[in-house]
């Protein structure tokens, strides 16, 4: 596997990869991962090779690594049956080149909706060019996997061939409703103990997540508090935007603390309209927290509007602000409905198992190798 992001970074892609690697190793496969430097030397029995990398200027959390001769030597020694490039950008392009040069079957997967990120960094005019570059890279692969039906369709529309769905997964043991606690609610409320409702967001604090759209929600529901769990390059701007609102910046949480935070919220708000999947939504649902997300990208695959959560329309003329407010009020104003949503959210999450998702991936690997024999 070649991936632009891996441990110690924590995000939805890394979660999917670590769960996938764990399952592949457990089932007798041999795995080597090439990723940006700073990573552990191994993970769950897989070899991990760090490649010298530079932070992307606009997005320092993403490191761009270019594989040198050492990568080629390690790959040759490992002698893989197949190469899987995850979100090919720079390191992934090296993986594609090595696959082609050494005549190794290639699969690619699409996880981050980078063309849509550009507009949030003032570079929207480059979107057509980026799609052309992505098309050129992905069409080298025998199969291109996407994590939602919306992305399968969008990649097809953009001219990317041989697309298929790689189903979602969530850890329903780690994230569960019984971890809800008053102690965690107190921590998330912070100094805003006078608030009645706890709204939570978990994830990276970055421009493309459109977190500022939650501010009018707080202004229209004065007895609600927002807990932002996570960190990122946009934190300083968000602290200014949410000044004089009931907003508590929690920072990173992990393990049982993170699971308890999900379970302890009244609503999980996820305004981003650039998601290919939105794994944090599934984690919140597994914890029994009603969710609100954008009716766009991969999110409608997860949320059944009015049943396990609500969808808001990010394309309305006010960027969906009124739609987001109405969805939040709809859940908060009916306690019985909220409790039903908690149960339905958990029920939805229980349908999606990491082992099943990785078994599906293994079948894709196997079928691809059979096709070229």
All structural domains of the chain, each given as residue ranges with its CATH number in brackets, are 2-169+353-372 (3.40.50.2000), 177-349 (3.40.50.2000)
Q: What is the pLDDT of residues 241-288, one digit of tens each?
A: 999 999 999 999 999 999 999 999 999 999 998 776 778 999 999 999
Strands (E) across 158-290 are located at 163-165, 197-202, 224-229, 247-251, 267-270
pTM of the model: 0.84
Q: Show Cβ contacts of residue 217 under 8 Å, excluding neighbours closer than 6 positions.
A: 199, 224, 226, 269, 321, 324, 325, 328
Structure tokens at 119: 């507009």
- Based on the number of CB atoms within 10 Å of its own CB, is 308 exposed (0-12), middle (13-18) or buried (19 or more)? buried
Structure tokens at 3: 């991936």
User: 17-29: b or e for each residue (b if 16 or more CB lie within 10 Å)?
Assistant: bbbbbbbbeeeee
Q: Which of 14, 287, 16 is nearest to 172 (CA)?
A: 287
Per-residue pLDDT of the chain (373 residues; tens, 9 = 90+): 999 899 998 888 899 999 999 999 998 999 999 999 999 999 999 999 999 887 766 666 667 777 788 999 999 999 999 999 998 878 888 999 999 999 999 999 998 766 565 565 666 677 777 778 889 999 999 999 998 888 899 899 999 999 999 999 999 999 999 999 999 999 999 999 999 999 999 998 998 899 999 999 999 999 999 999 999 989 999 999 999 999 999 999 999 999 999 999 999 999 998 776 778 999 999 999 999 999 988 899 899 999 999 999 998 888 899 999 999 999 999 999 999 999 999 999 999 989 889 999 999 999 999 988 7
Q: Given the structure tokens 């608030």, which residue do they identify?
A: 195
């Amino acid at each position: 596997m070649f991936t632009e992001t891996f441990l110690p970074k924590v995000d939805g892609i890394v979660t999917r990869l670590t769960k996938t690697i764990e399952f592949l190793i457990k089932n007798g496969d041999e795995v080597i991962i090439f990723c940006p430097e700073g990573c552990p030397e191994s993970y769950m029995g897989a070899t991990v090779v760090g490649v010298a990398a530079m932070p992307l200027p606009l997005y320092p959390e993403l490191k761009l690594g270019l594989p040198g001769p050492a990568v080629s030597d390690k790959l040759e020694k490992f002698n893989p049956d197949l190469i899987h490039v995850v979100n090919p950008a720079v390191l992934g392009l090296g993986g594609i080149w090595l696959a082609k040069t050494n005549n190794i079957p290639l699969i690619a997967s699409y996880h981050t909706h980078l063309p849509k990120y550009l507009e949030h960094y003032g570079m929207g005019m480059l979107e057509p060019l980026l799609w052309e570059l992505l098309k050129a890279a992905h069409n080298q692969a025998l199969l291109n996997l996407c994590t939602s039906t919306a992305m399968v369709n969008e990649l097809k529309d953009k001219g990317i061939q041989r697309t298929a769905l790689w189903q979602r997964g969530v850890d329903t043991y780690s994230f569960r409703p019984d971890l809800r606690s008053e102690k965690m609610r107190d921590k998330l409320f912070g100094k805003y103990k006078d608030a009645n409702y706890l709204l939570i967001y978990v994830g990276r604090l970055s421009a493309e997540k459109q977190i500022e759209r939650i501010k009018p929600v707080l202004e229209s529901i004065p007895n609600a508090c927002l807990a932002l769990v996570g960190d990122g390059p946009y934190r300083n701007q968000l602290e200014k935007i949410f000044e004089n609102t009931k907003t508590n910046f929690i920072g990173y949480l992990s393990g049982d603390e993170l699971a308890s935070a999900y379970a302890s919220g009244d609503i999980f708000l996820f305004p981003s309209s650039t998601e290919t999947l939105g794994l944090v939504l599934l984690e919140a649902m597994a914890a029994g927290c009603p969710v609100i997300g954008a009716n766009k990208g991969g999110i409608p695959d997860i949320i059944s509007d009015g049943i396990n959560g609500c969808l808001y329309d990010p394309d309305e003329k006010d960027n969906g602000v009124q739609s987001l407010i109405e969805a939040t009020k709809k859940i908060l104003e009916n306690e019985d409905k909220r409790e039903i949503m908690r149960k339905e959210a958990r029920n939805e999450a229980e349908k999606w198992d990491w082992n099943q998702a990785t078994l599906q991936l293994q079948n894709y690997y196997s079928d691809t190798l059979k096709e070229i024999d």
